[in-house]
Amino acid sequence: MFTLVLTLPVVVSRDPREAGRISAMAFFIGYACAALAPLLVGALRDAAGDFQLAFGLLGGLGLLMLVPITRLGETSKP
């Protein structure tokens, strides 16, 4: 998966500048989610008393992220 994530911006971009912009956006969002997810999971666990709500929300967000991923191929077509 990690290799795929690193090569995806190169595959879907038209030129090196666009690949850089897509990579920067992906890493910014990825690191922000990685930093905030433990806080969110902990807060939801404290509020609900278990991890079901927290991991259900994270699973839903994972499915929601499939929408922009499917649109990446459309932007690279001429």
Encode pLDDT of 19-56 as tens digits. 888 888 888 888 888 898 899 899 999 999 999 998 89
pLDDT of residue 65: 82
The pTM of the whole model exceeds 0.85 = no
Separation between Cα atoms, residue 32 and residue 24, nearest integer Å: 12
pLDDT of residue 78: 55
Residue 71's pLDDT band (boundaries 50, 70, 90)?
confident
Residue 1's pLDDT band (boundaries 50, 70, 90)?
low
Separation between Cα atoms, residue 11 and residue 72, nearest integer Å: 10
Domain ranges within the chain, ordered by starting residue: 2-75
Q: Which residues contact 5 (CB under 8 A, 6 or more apart)?
A: 26
